[in-house]
Amino acid sequence: MSANSREQSIEKLESEVFDLVVIGGGITGAGIALDAASRGLSVALLEKYDFAGGTSSRSTKLIHGGLRYLKQLELGLVRKVGRERAVIHRLAPHLVRPVPMLLPVYRNGSLGRWSTTLALSVYDRLAGVKKQERFKWYGPKEVANMEPGLLTDELQGGAVYTEYRTDDARLTMAVLKSASGAGAVCLNYMLVKDFVRENNRLSAVLADDLIGGKMITVRGKLVVSAAGPWVDEIRRIENKSSDKKLQLTKGVHLVLKAERFQINYPVYADVGDGRMFFIIPRGNRVYIGTTDTLYAGPTENPQVTKDDADYLLAAANRLFPKQHLSVKDIISSWAGVRPLLFEEGKSPSELSRRDEIWETSSGLISIAGGKLTGYRTMAKEVVDKVMFKLTGSKSVCKTESLLLDGYVSEQELEALITRLKGEASQVGFSHEEIRRLVFTYGSETELIIEQAYTLHQEVKDQEKRILQAELMYCVQFEWVRNISDFFIRRTGMLYFDRQRVLKQYLPAAEIIAELLDQQDGQTREDIAFLEAALSQAVTFN
């Protein structure tokens, strides 16, 4: 979203009365905006910092069915999110990809052979898993051959079942761009400060434009808060006496080089204390997660502590005893805050992952809880309610068949990569670079290549040309305002290619400053912010 486009969007925000104002630009807010806009409602979406800046860029990056929720007998949740995996995969195959997950089973573990096979059988049935993706059981020798470094003491065997890997921030962006294409006005860096009431009902939202530095009034017939960890904060703005609805928990993930931790399968296994954790290969990286601890710190910037890192490394070393991993092997990390529903006396792992909707007497509708996988059905619940309030009927939800921005069919992905590699070879794109772009932007990769061709004579340095082409695309079409937007949430490079960020962030800052006509002071502030994030990713206090 270019500077001119932002100005036009703000003019629209100030001049129209929207059917719906959505607060929060994470995956849930994005899903609500797309659902509502696709049903014909006029929609404004306001995000206080960058889109997917909270939980929606800090998850385990899996569209998974919540196998462990079977242990809590949340069968309805398992059925709902399990079935959604295939739906989201169908809508965005370039972002959501099936992967075989290995679940090793040990004597005296939290899951035995028979309980595992029963759970996975129920899971396959509830989730409507396709025949070719249903689980298979393997004996201990077969599991040891599949994953040679795995602990074999007390190993009873293991199951391989299908989960779906994604990039959570990219999925959020694809939904937002689809919502924008359907007519929704979506803006980041719009901090909600207050509400306007008429006849004791909310009639407008007051938001501080953190880019332009002015307060604007966005009028709407209904207001929905999908602010994730900040839902209680928004409710307190609306009503200072609001009770607590959320219990925040923290999840941490550590990133290592694949050459340092060589595994063949994504693994889901016992930590050893009754909890489960993931080890997931992703290209030339492997990441480990997640912790699940009660959290009462700052929601904007949760940090990975030494205890967090030690906990996950100990779990990985126990499962793969020859690895001898230590903190010095961590090349990046992230921590996220989960907005779970408050339940008195329950531990983090016992808290439900279901979602819930509340409405105040003045009309503020809030939604919280839930999982990344369930974003579309959560949005449907909210928009059904909104439609009924506005029109007296729910109308038909269309998002189950709306292909997301950048869509490329699963069958065409490799052919597209091959074709684009041929088209882009003259401007310096490698095969690996094309693969990265296609699995980030999908069909929109062609626009980045076109941009690189326009820069061919002007920018002789091949690496800078590719960087500038991608940045120009992200500034124009993806609301990028600074280098953190680009390196953390649009590309995930801070997590998975930190060395590249270290090499490119200063030239990237110069390019963005020129594209957005930024003042030097703003650019220096943006650089300092990213440098702090780069340091935090490898610092554990």
248-257, 324-333, 337-346, range with the lowest pLDDT: 337-346
> Residue 188: helix, strand or coil by DSSP?
coil
> Residue 392: helix, strand or coil by DSSP?
coil
Percent of the chain with pLDDT over 70: 95
Q: What is the mean pLDDT of the chain?
A: 93
pLDDT at position 119 is 81
C-alpha R_g of the chain: 23
Q: Give the whole-angstrom CA distance, residue 44 versus residue 140.
A: 55
120-124, 161-165, 531-535, range with the lowest pLDDT: 120-124
- Write the CB contacts of 274 (distance below 8 Å, at least 6 apart in sequence): 110, 349
Question: 141: part of which helix (H) or strand (E)?
Answer: helix 140-146
pLDDT band at 75 (very low <50, low <70, confident <90, very high): low
Query: Helix H segments across 425-497?
Result: 431-441, 445-454, 462-477, 483-484, 493-496
> Residue 126: helix, strand or coil by DSSP?
helix
pLDDT at position 272 is 81
Q: What is the mean pLDDT of residues 3-32?
A: 94
The pLDDT tens digits for 385-396 are: 999 999 998 889
Task: Output the six-digit token pair for 183.
Answer: 């007519």
Q: Give the whole-angstrom CA distance, residue 232 versus residue 366.
A: 9
pTM over 0.75: yes
More confident position, 309 or 163: 309
> Pairing state of beta strands 97-106 and 276-282?
unpaired
Give the CA angle between residues 403, 409, 410 to the nearest 5°. 130
Q: State the amino acid at position 127 in one-letter form.
A: A
Give the CA angle between residues 227, 232, 238 to the nearest 5°. 95
Q: What is the mean pLDDT of residues 306-332?
A: 97
Q: State the amino acid at position 90 in one-letter form.
A: R
What domains does the chain contain, in order, with CATH numbers? 3-55+169-245+352-391 (3.50.50.60), 96-166+247-350 (3.30.9.10), 410-536 (1.10.8.870)
Q: State the amino acid at position 139 in one-letter form.
A: G
pLDDT over 60 (residue 147): yes
Q: Give the whole-angstrom CA distance, residue 455 versus residue 511.
A: 13
pLDDT over 90 (residue 518): yes
pLDDT at position 197 is 96
pLDDT at position 222 is 98
Q: What is the mean pLDDT of residues 282-293?
A: 94
pLDDT at position 344 is 65
More confident position, 133 or 518: 518
The pLDDT tens digits for 225-257 are: 999 999 999 999 998 877 778 889 999 999 999
Q: What is the mean pLDDT of residues 505-533?
A: 96
Q: Give the whole-angstrom CA distance, residue 434 versus residue 445.
A: 8
Reading phi first (left if > 0) and then psi (alpha if -120 to 50, else beta), residue 123 is in alpha
Q: What is the mean pLDDT of residues 215-220?
A: 98
pLDDT band at 316 (very low <50, low <70, confident <90, very high): very high
Q: How far is CA 323 from CA 253, 283, 511, 538, in A?
A: 18, 19, 42, 20
Q: What is the mean pLDDT of residues 357-367?
A: 94
The pLDDT tens digits for 106-140 are: 998 887 888 888 888 888 887 778 888 899 999 99
pLDDT over 90 (residue 1): no
